[in-house]
Amino acid sequence: MHTAAGETSDWPEGKRYAIISGDTAWNAGVRAYDITDPYRPVETGALVPAAPQRMMDTRPGRPQVIQSCDVFVDAQGIIYSTDYNGGLSIIEYLG
């Protein structure tokens, strides 16, 4: 599993969340997990972007698919996720 992740501290409602980008071949988008109990993580949200209309990767013959690769969570809980083909997504996770 690809583990480019941002972990929040006690947000929201006193729970702990891990935000993970990618997952196996980078085509699973961004996923949020409640890790209040680290032995039983629970997926609480996901964003799988649509296929990009315009490719950032201009090499010929590349498939028009998402490839989520990096994620950053700022102090306010805003999630910034990059995609090799689709560019930048800015996400607000509401829990």
- Residue boundaries of the structural domains of the chain: 4-49+65-92
Mean pLDDT of the 32-46 span: 87
Lowest mean pLDDT among 14-23, 30-39, 43-52, 55-64: 14-23
pLDDT for the residue 76:
83
Task: List own/partner pairs for 67-72 with CB under 8 A and 24 or more apart.
Answer: 67/26, 67/27, 68/21, 68/22, 68/26, 68/27, 68/28, 68/29, 68/30, 69/2, 69/4, 69/21, 69/22, 69/26, 70/4, 70/21, 71/4, 71/5, 71/6, 71/19, 71/20, 71/21, 71/30, 72/6
